[in-house]
Amino acid sequence: MTDQTGLSGLVDRAALVTPPVVARRVRGLSERAIAWLFITPTMLLLLAINIFPLIWTIRLSFTNYRANRPNATVLDVGLANYQSILTDPDVWAAMTVTARFVFWSILIQTLLGFALAWLIDKKFRGHGLWTTLILLPMMLSPAVVGNFWTFLYQPQIGLFNYIISALTGAPASSFQMLAQVPLAPWAIVIVDSWMWTPYVMLICLAGLRSIPDYIYEAAEVDRASPWRQFWSITLPMALPFIMLAVLFRGIENFKMFDMVNLLTGGGPGSTTEVASITLKREAFEKWRTGYSSAFAIILFVTVFGLANIYVKALNRVKSR
C-alpha cells in the first residue's frame, strides 16, 4: 500500500504541486532535511527578532554606548553599568514601587477574579450577559482606559470622585486620586484591577469548569458542607489555574508601562515611577543605551528567575 500518511506522503503531495525542477530536488532530500527546510525560515525569523536583539542587548550592557551619539567612541566598561544600577537608590525606589504595585494588583485581581468566576460558574439566569459585560474592560486598549480613567479621577468633574463623595459625604474635590502621594499608587492599582480582573476570572472559570461534577456528588453523599466542599475540592482543584493567572498577571504587571505613563507619568514626584518608566527614561530620553541595556537585562533576569521558581511551585501543586 502506498504510504499516503505521515511526512513522506506530505512530501509526495508537495512534490506533485511543485514545478518539476524543484520537485526533483525535493524528492532527493531526506525527511529530516525537508523538516529543516520548513522550520528554518521560522527559526531564522525568531533568531532575528528575538535572540539577536537579546544577545546584542547583553553586549551593549557592558559598554558606555549612547544611541544619540553615533560619533562617540564606544568603550567597554565591564560591569560598571550593573554596579551603577544596583547601587542607585532611584532604581531601588522604582523596584519597590513596582513590587508594591505587582503585589496589590495581583492580590485584588485574584480575589475578585476568583469570586466572580465562582459566581458566574453558578450559571444563574443571564450569566452569559454578565460574563460578556464583565469581560468588556479587558478588551479595551490600555491607551483608552488610561485616558478615560484620567477623566474619571478628575477631582472636579470625575465620576469616581462623585461616587466616593456620595458614599462618604466628603466633598468631591477634597481628594485627588492622581495628584496625592498616598492615593496615586492606589489609583493605578484600581484601574489595573478594573481592566484585568476579568482575565483572571476567565482562567479561574476554566479551572472551576474543569472540576468533574461526580466529585461534588460524592462529597454530597458524604454529607460534606458547601464550605467543606469549597476548601477540599473547589479551591485545591482550581489552584493550578489560579496560580497560572497569577503568573501571567505577575509577568505583565512587572512590565507595566502604558497605564502608569498615561495616568500619572510616574508622578506625583516619583511616587508611581515603576521600573519600566525608569527604563524608558534612561533608554529613550536620556539615551544611556548601555546603561539601560544593563537595566533591561536585570529586569529580564528578575522576571525570568521569579517566573521559573514560580513555575516549579506550580508544577508541584499540579502533581499533588
Partner 1 sequence: MKLLQTFALTATVAAATVLGASAPARAEGKTITLCWAAWDPANALVELSKDFTAKTGVNMKFEFVPWPNFADRMLNELNSKGKLCDLMIGDSQWIGGAAENGHYVKLNEFFDKEGIKISDFMPATVTGYAEWPKGSPNYWALPAMGDANGWTYRKDWFARPEIREEFKKKFGRELEVPKTQAELKDIAEFFQKRVIDGKTVYGAAIFTERGSEGITMGVTNALYPFGFKYQNPKKPYDMQGFVNSDDAVKGLEFYKALYKCCTPPGYSNGYMQEGLDAFKSGQVALQMNWFAFFPGLYKDPNVGGDKIGFFVNPAQKEKGSQLGGQGISVVAYSPNRAEALAYIKWFASLDTQKKWWSLGGYSCHKGVLNDPNFKNTAPFAADFLVAMDQVVDFWAEPSYAQLLLAMQKRVHDYVVADQGTAKGALDGLISDWTKVFKEDGKL
Binders in 73-92 for partner 1, by CB under 8 A: 90
Is position 226 an interface residue for partner 1 (rule: CB under 8 A)? no
> Would you list the DSSP string of 88-157?
-HHHHHHHHHHHHHHHHHHHHHHHHHHHHHHHHTT--TTHHHHHHHHHHHHHS-HHHHHHHHHHHT-TTT
With CB under 8 A as the rule, give the number of residues binding partner 1: 34
CA-CA distance, 267 to 102, in Å (whole number)?
17
> What angle is formed at CA 261 by the lines to CA 259 and CA 266, rounded to 5 degrees?
120
Give the chain's radius of gyration (CA, Å). 26
Distances (CA, A) of 277 to 35, 257, 260, 310: 43, 6, 8, 25
Query: From the list 57, 131, 229, 270, which residue makes contact with partner 1 (rule: CB under 8 A)?
Result: 270
CA-CA distance, 59 to 289, in Å (whole number)?
11
Is position 165 an interface residue for partner 1 (rule: CB under 8 A)? no
Q: Which is nearer to partner 1, 154 or 232 (CB)?
A: 154
Q: Which stretch binds partner 1 (CB under 8 A): 1-9, 34-42, 175-183, 195-203?
A: 175-183
Is position 269 an interface residue for partner 1 (rule: CB under 8 A)? yes
Query: From the list 146, 185, 250, 266, which residue makes contact with partner 1 (rule: CB under 8 A)?
Result: 266
Is position 156 an interface residue for partner 1 (rule: CB under 8 A)? yes
Amino acid identity at 89: P
Q: Which is nearer to partner 1, 185 or 198 (CB)?
A: 185
Q: Which is nearer to partner 1, 69 or 318 (CB)?
A: 69
Compose the 7-36 pattern: x for residues touching partner 1 by CB under 8 A, - for all others. -----------xxxx---------------
Longest distance between any two alpha carbons in the chain, whole Å: 85
Cell of 56: 546584542
Q: Which is nearer to partner 1, 158 or 250 (CB)?
A: 158
Q: By the 8 A CB rule, do 224 and 232 touch?
A: yes
Is position 71 an interface residue for partner 1 (rule: CB under 8 A)? yes
> How near is the Cβ of 173 to partner 1 at its closest, in Å?
4
Query: From the list 57, 131, 165, 173, which residue makes contact with partner 1 (rule: CB under 8 A)?
Result: 173
Q: Which is nearer to partner 1, 5 or 156 (CB)?
A: 156
Q: Which stretch binds partner 1 (CB under 8 A): 61-69, 100-108, 127-135, 141-149?
A: 61-69
Compose the 285-314 pattern: x for residues touching partner 1 by CB under 8 A, - for all others. xxxx--------------------------
228 backbone dihedrals φ, ψ, rounded to 5°: -65, -40
Q: Give just the sign of the alpha carbon dihedral 176, 182, 185, 189.
A: negative
Is position 232 an interface residue for partner 1 (rule: CB under 8 A)? no
Is position 100 an interface residue for partner 1 (rule: CB under 8 A)? no
Residues 6+ apart with CB under 8 A from 114: 200, 201, 204, 238, 242
> How near is the Cβ of 174 to partner 1 at its closest, in Å?
8
> Would you list the DSSP string of 277-312?
HHHHIIIIIS--HHHHHHHHHHHHHHHHHHHHHHHH
> How near is the Cβ of 304 to partner 1 at its closest, in Å?
28
Q: Which stretch binds partner 1 (CB under 8 A): 46-54, 64-72, 206-214, 224-232?
A: 64-72
89 CB-contact burial (10 Å; exposed 0-12 / middle 13-18 / buried 19+)? exposed
Binding residues vs partner 1 (CB under 8 A): 18-21, 67-71, 90, 153-156, 173, 176, 178-179, 181, 261, 264-271, 281, 284-288
